[in-house]
Amino acid sequence: MLAFSIPTGSVLAADATDQKDAKAFLQDLGDKAITVLADDGRDIEEREKEVQDMLRQNLELVAMSRFVLGSGWRKASKDEQAEYVETFSEFVVRTYSKRLSAYGGQTFEITGTSAAGKRDAIVFTRIDQDGAPPIQAGWRVKTVRSGDLKIVDVVVEGVSMLQTQRSEFESVTRRSGLNGLMDALRKKLDKLSAFDGTLRNLHFG
C-alpha cells in the first residue's frame, strides 16, 4: 500500500529521499506545529492559521491533488485543473490543521523510518495522549526538484489518506462528474468550521 505512485512531473523530479533527512525534516515541522498549537496565550483560530501556513509550505499539494483525482485529471481543462487544485489544497490544509489542533500540547515522537517506493521515505510518528491510546501515523516524504522535502501522504492506522480519498473521489465523479466533486469539496470546506477533530466525518461516500 505504501508503494503507490505519486505523479512525477517536473516539479517532483529529484533524487531519492534520504531517510535521515526526512526524519529531521518531520521532527522540525512536528515540533514547530505542536509548539504553536500548545500556546494557550493565543486564540485557537490564530494558532490554526499559523499551522495552515506551515502545511502549505511543506505539503506537495499539486501532486497530491493530481493523484487523488486520478483519470479525471486528464479529462479536465486547464482552468478546471487549476480551480480543483486550489479547492482541494485548501481542503487538505484545513483538514490537517484541524486534526493537529486536537493534539496540541501532547508529546510528539518519531518512532522510525523506512523507504517508500524508489524515491520516497516514510517517517513514523507517535503522539501520546493523556488517558487515551497514542496516535500513530506515517508521513510519506519526497525530495522535489528544488531539493526541498515535501509531505505527499499521511498513513493513519495503516490507511493512506490519498488512497482513501482517491476511491471516494472516483465514486463521486462517476455519479456527478468533476462539477459534482467540486460542489462536494466546497460543502466540506463550509463544514470544517464545526469540524470535530476526526477525519472520518470528511468522507465523500
Residue 123 belongs to what domain range?
Answer: 19-190
Task: Specify if 186 maps to a domain.
Answer: yes
pLDDT given at position 15: 76
| 6-52: pLDDT as tens digits | 544 434 446 789 999 999 999 999 889 888 888 888 888 898 899 99
pLDDT given at position 41: 87
Task: Specify if 205 maps to a domain.
Answer: no
**How many domains are contained in the chain?**
1
Task: Specify if 204 maps to a domain.
Answer: no
Task: Specify if 71 maps to a domain.
Answer: yes
Task: Specify if 196 maps to a domain.
Answer: no
Q: How crowded is residue 78: how many other Cβ atoms within 10 Å of its Cβ?
A: 7
- Residues with Cβ within 8 Å of 82's Cβ and at least 6 positions away in sequence, in order, are none
Q: Estimate to the nearest angstrom the gap between the alpha carbon of 143 and the chain centroid.
A: 16
Task: Specify if 8 maps to a domain.
Answer: no
Confidence label for 171 from pLDDT (cuts 50, 70 and 90):
very high
> φ, ψ for residue 146 (rounded to 5)?
-70, -15
Q: How far apart are CA 91 and CA 80, in angstroms?
A: 16
Q: How far apart are CA 184 and CA 81, in angstroms?
A: 16
How much is the pTM?
A: 0.82
Q: How far apart are CA 189 and CA 87, in angstroms?
A: 9
- Residues with Cβ within 8 Å of 159's Cβ and at least 6 positions away in sequence, in order, are none
Task: Specify if 14 maps to a domain.
Answer: no
Which one, of 72, 67, 98, lies nearest residue 165 by Cα? 67
Task: Specify if 199 maps to a domain.
Answer: no
> φ, ψ for residue 109 (rounded to 5)?
-140, 135
| 93-150: pLDDT as tens digits | 988 888 777 665 567 789 999 999 889 999 999 887 777 788 888 999 999 989 999 9
As a whole number of Å, the end-to-end CA separation of the chain is 21
Residue 205 bridge partners (DSSP): none
CATH number at residue 87: 3.10.450.710
Question: Is 153 in a helix, a strand, or coil?
Answer: strand
Question: In 9-119, at which residue ranges do the beta strands (DSSP E only) sit?
Answer: 107-116
Res 199 pLDDT > 50: no
